[in-house]
Amino acid sequence: MRYGITVSAAILMTLVVAAPLAGAADEKAQTTTQEAKTMVSDSWLTSKTKISLFADERVKGTQISVDTAKGVVHLRGKVDSAEAKSAAGDIAQKVEGVKSVKNDLQVVTPTARQAVDANDKDIDKAVETRLAKDLQLKKVDVRTDAGVVTLTGQVATIGASAKASEMARAVPGVKSVKNELAFAK
């Protein structure tokens, strides 16, 4: 009888200790599932937005880059007029499921576009070259639109993020820097 009580106590103790662990595993599984759903829905929103932009005659869909994170659609690129920029924002906002729109489109007339595009490529290369010299900043992505440099990716610290912004600002031709770097956890 005493052996049965000891075994029962051991089983009960195991269940008491394992219950929080099972709850944590269940939470982690739910979090992972939610992250996967968010990624799928974000890519779906990106696709729906691109299709809507291509279908509308007011904008040239090929001029616009679309990214989505947590339901927030981000528009980048160069358009011919302020009307096209406004129309693109309206089109993206009307896509079902979009929470909000961040419209960073640059208005560049077609005649000025060639000079701006060439200059943007030079700026991209110069910023990437400077950042590549620092081990903490090698994996930072650089995109330039009309002299506005956008930095994306992950860095280890806020100091590294600030350093990336300073290095990008020092490149000739850079009008401003948008630092969208995330910090590694």
For 148-183, write each residue's pLDDT tens digit: 899 999 998 988 999 999 999 988 888 889 999 988
This prediction has a pTM of 0.52
What are the pLDDT digits (tens) for 1-12? 455 556 555 565
Task: Please spell the DSSP secondary structure of the chain, one letter per residue.
Answer: -HHHHHHHHHHHHHHHHHHHHHHHHHHHHHHHHHHHHHHHHHHHHHHHHHHHHHH-TTS-GGGEEEEEETTEEEEEEEES-HHHHHHHHHHHHTSTT--EEEEEEEE--HHHHHHHHHHHHHHHHHHHHHHHTSGGGTT-EEEEETTEEEEEEEESSHHHHHHHHHHHHTSTT--EEEEEEEEP-
Q: In the chain, what are the domain boundaries? A: 39-107, 110-183
Q: What is the pLDDT of residue 32?
A: 58
CATH of domain 39-107: 3.30.1340.30
pLDDT band of 107, cuts 50, 70, 90: confident
Would the CATH topology of 39-107 be identical to that of 110-183?
A: yes
Q: Domain 110-183: which topology?
A: Histidine-containing Protein; Chain: A; (3.30.1340)
pLDDT band of 65, cuts 50, 70, 90: confident
pLDDT band of 184, cuts 50, 70, 90: confident
* Whether the predicted pLDDT of 29 surpasses 70: no
